[in-house]
């Protein structure tokens, strides 16, 4: 019998394949009842975990023997014997079979009995062996638990990764070309792991509570992110249904791909710039495939995450930026200085955990508190800017919350530009410097900010998070994360208006820019540059081509009058349905 789970689909697509489980939370000892049909499979899972643990112990034994001498290897041999000793394994299997429970729970029960037996022994030496048994049991539990990051890095086959949490620092270490899909218990629509997956076309479901436990007992999964459903061990009918859905999805993508060369203009002739958001340099290739007008956001912090705990040197920065800018020629590339902190771990840089990191030392604040690391990156950026035509490299500062912050960043950049000029490097005197507008205080002060900056880019992922006080990575509040909130809409409109009245370019690089529901209202508000994950470009292009600016402006005027997120959502849905009826695309 197949089982299923629902979650929130946040990156589209359908995946069918073998699951691997990766858990970071403490090993659970919850008692889970297993259906009678699955008992034998659970015993098999326990036996496999024992085998994996014995192999792991063997590896540790060999390493210890090599590094410290054969005499130290004996302890590991004893551990191997314990792991496969029937006086341990048989009672575990018996508990699983008789009580119809999960292997983890059964191990815990047997372990408890063994510990009390050991403790009752008069011989202190034997009583101390208790520690060995606990150690071995922990290794078997860890093997039951799924793969650790090291094992994941070495994966040699395509899999669906099922994890309790997958922070971006872990996601970037994965062999992403082997990832058919992600089923995550935590996460949200704009968490960075989701964003990376979306731009690589990896389907993702978040908020799938219990997926790890279920996946550990499954050989195959079908994951459909458009309906937010995961089927564990699909039966033959389900398997063929999901296979044909997958085929249809791929056909739809292929037909969108054919439209990539069409210009992005509204029916009444307004040109809209579509740019790419890039997290990993490898994505530049996708951006080029989808025919983008440049890179609107390169999240350079992923360079750090890939190299962590080492900090990239000036030359390492330069190599990555130079490659990216040449590949995109002649289109411009906007590189954001490190936006570390928050969920993008930066422990090596900041030194310790914070109680509330999303409101802590993040983005430009962290750059200021670590002048050396900020300077290294700015030197590299300004040197690369000097190697290309003026305007090809634009520098953007993250998490600007007040005008002084931008002024300080600009001052540092100017000083560094002068410094590299005196060293004999080519420079441009006026490399465009811009601010991310992603903190409500900056959006409110957009008019004054616009007088200081060369460009602004609206980061709606954080703007929504901070203005609605909803953690963007927390699936428990994912339903409160509303891009259609009238408060958010008004902040966005304020920034676009400020840019217009001060003659400063405004783009949007948050996920809102690629949301088909929001595209008509954004065009209507006067936004002319949309930056998004390259995979989203064809749908947005097709939508813009169906719109007239006049129509869009009317949509924006009406949307701004509405006072609840639900009203805005219903209104925009109705307009979108009307537009889609005129196209052959589905979203
Ligand atoms: C944003 O906040 O909208 C944004 C584009 O930046 P990031 O997602 O990297 O925080
Ligand atoms: Mg942001």
Phi, psi of 336 (to 5 degrees): -95, 135
Q: d(Cα 248, Cα 252) in Å, to the nearest integer? A: 6
- Return the residue whose CA atom lies nearest to atom 1 of ligand 1: 459
178 CB contacts (<8 Å, ≥6 apart)? 155, 156, 157, 158, 159
- Please state, for a pLDDT cut of 70, what percent of the chain lies above it: 94
- Mean pLDDT along residues 296-303: 93
Q: Tell me, in angstroms, the distance from the centre of ligand 1 to residue 450's CA.
A: 19
Ligand whose nearest atom lies closest to the CA of 299: 1
Residue 315 has pLDDT above 80, yes or no: yes
Is residue 402 flagged as an active site residue?
no
In this structure, the chain runs to a length of 587
**250-254 long-range CB contacts below 8 Å, 24 or more apart?**
252/586, 253/201
Choice between 191 and 419, residue whose per-residue pLDDT is larger: 419
Atom index in ligand 1 nearest the CA of residue 342 equals 10
Facing residues of 457 across strands? 436, 507
pLDDT at res. 58: 85
pTM, to two decimals? 0.79
Q: d(Cα 85, Cα 287) in Å, to the nearest integer? A: 56
Residue 261's CB is within 10 A of a number of other CB atoms, namely 7
- Mean pLDDT along residues 331-337: 97
Task: Enumerate the domain spans of the chain.
Answer: 3-24+151-255, 36-145, 259-583
Ligand 1, CB within 6 Å, residue ranges: 297, 299, 339, 438, 459-462, 509-510
- Which three-class secondary structure string do you get for 249-278? HHHHHHHHHHHHHCCCECCCCCECEEEEEE
338 CB contacts (<8 Å, ≥6 apart)? 300, 301, 304, 366, 367, 373, 374, 377, 398
pLDDT digits (tens, 9 = 90+) for 421-464: 999 999 999 999 999 999 999 999 999 999 999 999 999 999 99
Q: Tell me, in angstroms, the distance from the centre of ligand 2 to residue 445's CA.
A: 18
pLDDT at res. 403: 98
Q: Of the ranges 115-119, 184-188, 209-213, 509-513, which one carries the lowest mean pLDDT score?
A: 115-119
Is residue 192 flagged as an active site residue?
yes
Q: Say whether domain 36-145 belongs to CATH 3.30.565.10.
A: no
pLDDT at res. 155: 85
CA distances, 513 to each of 302, 518, 572 (Å):
21, 7, 14
Facing residues of 181 across strands? 160
State the DSSP string of 460-474.
Answer: HHHHHHHHHT--TT-
- Mean pLDDT along residues 402-407: 98
Round to the nearest angstrom and report the end-to-end CA distance of the chain. 32
pLDDT at res. 192: 83
pLDDT at res. 290: 87
Q: d(Cα 410, Cα 396) in Å, to the nearest integer? A: 10
Atom index in ligand 1 nearest the CA of residue 339 equals 9
The candidate with the shortest Cα–Cα distance to 201, out of 227, 171, 180, is 180
Q: d(Cα 309, Cα 302) in Å, to the nearest integer? A: 12
- Mean pLDDT along residues 475-482: 91
Best of 279, 462, 470 for a ligand 1 pocket test (most atoms within 8 Å of beta carbon): 462
CA distances, 524 to each of 106, 271, 492 (Å):
61, 13, 12
Atom index in ligand 1 nearest the CA of residue 301 equals 9
Pick the CATH number of 259-583 from 3.40.50.2300, 3.40.50.2020, 3.20.20.60, 3.20.20.70: 3.20.20.60
Ligand whose nearest atom lies closest to the CA of 194: 1
19 secondary structure, DSSP code: E
Best of 398, 437, 463, 529 for a ligand 1 pocket test (most atoms within 8 Å of beta carbon): 398
Q: Tell me, in angstroms, the distance from the centre of ligand 2 to residue 12's CA.
A: 22
Domain 3-24+151-255: state its class.
alpha beta
Ligand whose nearest atom lies closest to the CA of 192: 1
Evaluate whether 476 touches 428 at the Cβ level (below 8 Å).
no
- Return the residue whose CA atom lies nearest to atom 9 of ligand 1: 299
Cis peptide bond upstream of 309, omega within 30? yes
CA distances, 83 to each of 48, 53, 77, 106, 487 (Å):
12, 8, 10, 15, 59
Atom index in ligand 1 nearest the CA of residue 299 equals 9
Q: Tell me, in angstroms, the distance from the centre of ligand 2 to residue 256's CA.
A: 29
Phi, psi of 431 (to 5 degrees): -70, 125
Q: Tell me, in angstroms, the distance from the centre of ligand 1 to residue 372's CA.
A: 24
Q: d(Cα 578, Cα 554) in Å, to the nearest integer? A: 14
Find how far residue 319's CA is from the centre of its chain.
Answer: 24
Q: Tell me, in angstroms, the distance from the centre of ligand 2 to residue 465's CA.
A: 9
The candidate with the shortest Cα–Cα distance to 24, out of 188, 147, 176, 192, is 147
- Return the residue whose CA atom lies nearest to atom 6 of ligand 1: 459
Residue 493's CB is within 10 A of a number of other CB atoms, namely 21
Evaluate whether 19 touches 162 at the Cβ level (below 8 Å).
yes
Atom index in ligand 1 nearest the CA of residue 192 equals 8
- Return the residue whose CA atom lies nearest to atom 8 of ligand 1: 461
pLDDT digits (tens, 9 = 90+) for 377-391: 999 999 999 999 999
Q: d(Cα 148, Cα 162) in Å, to the nearest integer? A: 12
pLDDT class for 465, splitting at 50, 70, 90? Answer: very high
3-state secondary structure (DSSP) of residue 451: coil
The candidate with the shortest Cα–Cα distance to 441, out of 423, 417, 466, 418, is 466
Phi, psi of 537 (to 5 degrees): -60, -45
Evaluate whether 396 touches 381 at the Cβ level (below 8 Å).
no
103 CB contacts (<8 Å, ≥6 apart)? 42, 43, 45, 46, 49, 92, 96, 144
From 192, 286, 317, 428, the catalytic residue: 192
Residue 411 has pLDDT above 80, yes or no: yes
pLDDT digits (tens, 9 = 90+) for 517-564: 999 999 999 999 999 998 899 899 999 999 999 999 999 999 999 999
Evaluate whether 576 touches 523 at the Cβ level (below 8 Å).
no
CA distances, 485 to each of 4, 336, 491, 525 (Å):
32, 27, 10, 15
Residue 119 has pLDDT above 80, yes or no: no
- Mean pLDDT along residues 257-267: 89
Average pLDDT over the chain, rounded to an integer: 90
pLDDT at res. 363: 93
476 CB contacts (<8 Å, ≥6 apart)? none
């Amino acid at each position: 019998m197949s089982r299923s789970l629902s979650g929130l689909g946040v990156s589209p697509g359908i995946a069918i394949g073998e699951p691997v489980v990766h858990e970071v939370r403490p090993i659970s000892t919850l008692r889970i009842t297993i259906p009678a049909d699955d008992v034998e499979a659970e015993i098999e899972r326990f036996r496999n975990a024992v085998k994996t643990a014995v192999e792991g112990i063997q590896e540790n034994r060999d390493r210890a023997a090599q590094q410290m001498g054969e005499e130290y290897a004996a302890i590991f041999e004893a551990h191997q014997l314990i792991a496969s000793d029937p006086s341990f394994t048989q009672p575990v299997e018996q508990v699983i079979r008789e009580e119809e429970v999960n292997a983890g729970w059964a191990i815990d029960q047997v372990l408890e009995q063994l510990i009390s037996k050991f403790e009752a022994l008069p011989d202190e030496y034997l009583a101390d062996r208790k520690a060995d048994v606990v150690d071995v049991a922990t290794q078997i539990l860890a093997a039951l638990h799924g793969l650790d990051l090291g094992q994941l890095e070495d994966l040699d086959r395509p899999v669906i990764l099922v994890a309790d949490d997958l922070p971006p620092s872990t996601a970037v270490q994965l062999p992403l070309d082997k990832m058919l899909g992600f089923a995550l218990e935590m996460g949200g629509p704009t968490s960075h792991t989701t964003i990376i997956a979306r731009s690589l076309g990896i389907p993702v479901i978040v908020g799938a509570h219990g997926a790890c436990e279920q996946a550990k007992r499954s050989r195959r999964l079908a994951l459909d992110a458009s309906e937010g459903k995961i089927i564990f061990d699909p039966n033959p009918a389900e398997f063929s249904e999901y296979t044909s859905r997958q085929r249809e999805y791929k056909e739809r993508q292929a037909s969108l791909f054919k439209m990539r060369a069409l210009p992005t203009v509204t029916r009444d002739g307004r040109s809209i710039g579509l740019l790419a958001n890039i997290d990993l340099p490898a994505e530049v290739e996708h951006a080029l495939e989808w025919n983008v007008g440049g890179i609107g956001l390169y999240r350079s912090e992923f360079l750090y995450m890939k190299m962590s705990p080492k900090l990239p040197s000036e030359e390492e920065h330069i190599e990555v930026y130079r490659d990216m800018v040449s590949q995109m020629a002649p289109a411009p590339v906007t590189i954001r200085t490190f936006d570390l902190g928050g969920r993008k771990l930066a422990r090596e840089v900041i030194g310790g955990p914070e109680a509330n990191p999303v409101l802590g030392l993040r983005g430009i604040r962290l750059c200021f508190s670590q002048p050396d690391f900020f300077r290294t990156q700015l030197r590299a950026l300004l040197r690369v800017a000097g190697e290309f035509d003026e305007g090809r490299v634009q520098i953007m500062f993250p998490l600007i919350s007040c005008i002084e912050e931008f002024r300080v960043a600009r001052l540092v950049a100017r000083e560094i530009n002068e410094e590299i000029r005196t060293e004999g490097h080519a420079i441009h005197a006026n490399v465009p410097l811009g601010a991310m507008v992603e903190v409500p205080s900056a959006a409110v002060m957009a008019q004054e900010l616009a007088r200081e900056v060369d460009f602004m880019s609206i980061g709606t992922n954080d703007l929504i998070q901070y203005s609605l006080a909803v953690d963007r990575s927390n699936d428990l509040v994912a339903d409160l994360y509303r891009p259609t909130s009238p408060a958010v809409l008004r902040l966005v409109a304020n920034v676009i208006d400020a840019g217009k009245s001060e003659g400063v370019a405004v783009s949007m690089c948050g996920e809102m820019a690629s949301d088909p529901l929001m595209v008509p209202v954004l065009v209507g508000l006067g936004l002319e540059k949309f930056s998004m994950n390259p995979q989203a470009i064809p749908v947005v292009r097709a939508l813009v081509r169906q719109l007239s600016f006049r129509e869009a402006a009317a949509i924006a005027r009406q949307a701004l009058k509405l006072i609840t997120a639900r009203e805005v959502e219903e209104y925009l849905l109705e307009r979108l349905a009307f537009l889609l009826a005129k196209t052959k695309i589905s979203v």
